[in-house]
Amino acid sequence: MKRLFLSAMAAAATLTGISAAQETRPALTSASAKAIVAGCEAYALEKGWKLNITVLDQGRNLMAFLRMDDALLGTIEISQWKANASASFAGPTKGSAERAKEFPALAAAPNIAIFEGGEAIFSKDGVPLGGVGVSGAAGSEDAECARAGIAKAGLRHDRPE
């Protein structure tokens, strides 16, 4: 009986033109993730940096990763933590150490970096798409590289005003 009711509801929705209730939102594509990595890598090569670059989508799923030649092995996971933090909180990791002073649990959260080098990825309209984590240089340089990669992909690292 329950199956018959659900079938009748689906048929009624189809006949009345009701569309699915789920809203469609922009999503990070593999092409954009690759472009972010390529842009960041090109920028790092110009500067002589050897970096690990991680790109996650908004669900914190791995979309792209690159370990540049001779990048330190120990910074692989750090780049992943930075990307995870940026995707989770839709913002840069810069300033997270200050926030952790107010909320100490943030510093103990697993797989979350509280230091610079992670940047959120936004669509042109400001929809959060994920995060980029870069590690291997100074934190400010990691962040600079992440922003360069995001820009190269035609996306934003901040919300439009």
Query: What domains lie within the chain, and their CATH numbers?
Result: 29-152 (3.30.450.150)
Q: pTM value?
A: 0.84
b/e map 41-60, b = 16+ CB within 10 Å? bebbeeeebebbbbbbbbeb
Q: How confident is the model at residue 7 (pLDDT cuts 50, 70, 90)?
A: low
Contact 86, 116 (CB under 8 A): no
Sheet holding 62-67, edge to edge: 62-67, 52-57, 128-135, 118-122
- What's the gap between Cα 153 and its chain centre? 13
Question: In degrees, to the nearest 5, what angle opens at C-alpha 35 toward C-alphas 33 and 41?
Answer: 105
Q: How confident is the model at residue 95 (pLDDT cuts 50, 70, 90)?
A: confident
Structure confidence by residue, pLDDT tens digits, 12-65:
555 555 556 777 889 999 999 999 999 999 999 999 999 999 999 999 999 999
Residue 2: per-residue pLDDT: 52
Residue 42: per-residue pLDDT: 98
| Whole-angstrom distance, CA of residue 33 vs CA of residue 103 | 31
| Whole-angstrom distance, CA of residue 70 vs CA of residue 51 | 8
Q: How confident is the model at residue 5 (pLDDT cuts 50, 70, 90)?
A: very low
User: Count of CB atoms within 10 A of residue 65's CB?
Assistant: 17
